[in-house]
């Protein structure tokens, strides 16, 4: 980002008339896809989902920075290939991981400098975790800043780049069902990482990027449609898919299916279990 402007945030916030369109990363992608962006929250440049996504991404950056650091020498590299760069033969150094780390630190430092300068504050300690905490502390002010959309885009780009380095292999995707957030018409999919570091499963909504959970977080949810949703069509899941979603061995799935008497059906010699029974057991397990 560039710091070519003075802070007129308070003036802008008090003189804004009527609702404005969100300038966040997710809404900009919606515009590119031909959809209408959400309206920004009063006194802010971002809609509720983009605000939530920005908070979530800022919290993730220090961990992503650390995970990329583990890949620099290749010693803890979960896979041999990385996206956006490759190690030179005979030189075990992951260029893509180094570049992702540099982008994270550069982005965090730049925005921390803006906050410190315009709010006349002392700068935070120069570590990704402490800078991210500093930005989160001033998130309400940043949401109303004229460059809030730019912040949202840059932070989201850092997250995407780091994740491509850490997890370059395509994930196996398992349909989960309707989004459990009330009022959301999206569909949930569990993306299963084939080994490596970090969460093995991430459940994501195809409608709202902010609606996402790790496998552990998902286990703490019941996973059934909200009251605004109609009963979904029956879906059937294999033991392998359930094991990947729950992070357990297939044998545990078979035992649970027997104990809880899941409905099942056989197709071409393979057994599939009723999704609603699986979700009911998931809630009990959690």
Query: How sure is the predictor about 243, in pLDDT bands with cuts at 50, 70 and 90?
Result: confident
Predicted pLDDT at 13: 39
pLDDT digits (tens, 9 = 90+) for 63-96: 999 989 888 875 444 443 434 444 444 446 788 8
* Least-confidence region, from 99-108, 132-141, 174-183, 196-205: 196-205
Cα–Cα distances in Å, from 123 out to 61, 131, 144, 155, 231? 18, 9, 20, 19, 52
Domain of 268 in residue numbering reads as 172-285
Residues 150 and 237 in one domain: no
Place of tokens 């920005």: 54
In a domain, 2, yes or no: no
Cα–Cα distances in Å, from 252 out to 66, 87, 161, 220, 239? 33, 40, 36, 18, 9
Which residue, of 124, 145, 166, is where some domain finishes?
A: 166
pLDDT at 11 over 60: no
Residues 43 and 133 in one domain: yes
pLDDT digits (tens, 9 = 90+) for 273-285: 887 788 778 766 6
Q: What pTM does this model have?
A: 0.55
Q: How confident is the model over 41-61, as a mean pLDDT?
A: 91
Longest dimension (CA), the chain: 69
In a domain, 196, yes or no: yes
Residues 268 and 150 in one domain: no
Residues 157 and 253 in one domain: no
Q: Are strands 201-205 and 187-192 parallel, antiparallel or unpaired?
A: antiparallel
Which residue, of 166, 188, 204, is where some domain finishes?
A: 166
Which residue, of 138, 166, 194, is where some domain finishes?
A: 166
Predicted pLDDT at 119: 93
Predicted pLDDT at 194: 57
> Please, are residues 45 and 144 in contact by the beta-carbon 8 Å criterion?
yes
pLDDT digits (tens, 9 = 90+) for 258-273: 888 888 877 666 787 8
Highest mean pLDDT among 36-50, 129-143, 217-231: 129-143
Q: What is the mean pLDDT of the chain?
A: 76
Query: How sure is the predictor about 166, in pLDDT bands with cuts at 50, 70 and 90?
Result: confident
Q: How confident is the model over 217-233, as a mean pLDDT?
A: 48
pLDDT at 143 over 80: yes
* Least-confidence region, from 127-131, 173-177, 213-217, 218-222: 218-222
Predicted pLDDT at 38: 87
In a domain, 4, yes or no: no
Residues 128 and 17 in one domain: yes
The H or E element that residue 150 is part of is: helix 148-166
């Amino acid at each position: 980002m560039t710091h070519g402007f003075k802070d007129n945030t308070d003036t802008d916030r008090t003189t804004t008339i009527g609702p404005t369109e969100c300038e966040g990363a997710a809404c900009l992608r919606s515009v590119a896809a031909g959809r209408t962006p959400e309206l920004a929250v009063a006194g802010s440049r971002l809609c509720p989902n983009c605000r939530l996504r920005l908070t979530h991404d800022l919290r993730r950056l220090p961990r992503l920075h650390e995970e990329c650091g583990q890949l620099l020498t290749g010693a803890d590299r979960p896979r041999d290939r990385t996206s956006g760069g490759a190690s030179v033969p005979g030189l075990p150094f992951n260029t893509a991981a180094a570049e992702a780390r540099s982008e994270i630190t550069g982005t965090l430092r730049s925005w921390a400098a803006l906050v410190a300068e315009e709010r006349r504050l002392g700068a935070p300690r120069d570590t990704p975790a402490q800078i991210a905490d500093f930005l989160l502390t001033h998130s309400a002010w940043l949401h109303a800043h004229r460059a809030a959309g730019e912040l949202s885009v840059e932070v989201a780009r850092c997250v995407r780049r780091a994740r491509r380095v850490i997890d370059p292999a395509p994930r196996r995707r398992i349909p989960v069902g309707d989004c459990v957030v009330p009022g959301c018409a999206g569909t949930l999919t569990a993306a299963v990482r084939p080994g490596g570091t970090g969460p093995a499963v991430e459940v994501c909504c195809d409608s709202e990027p902010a609606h996402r959970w790790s496998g552990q977080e998902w286990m703490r949810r019941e996973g059934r449609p909200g009251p605004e949703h109609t009963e979904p069509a029956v879906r059937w899941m294999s033991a392998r898919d359930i094991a990947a979603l729950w992070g357990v061995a297939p044998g545990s799935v078979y035992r649970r299916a027997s104990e809880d008497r899941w409905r099942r059906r056989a197709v071409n010699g393979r057994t599939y279990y009723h999704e609603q029974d699986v979700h009911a057991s998931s809630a009990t397990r959690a």
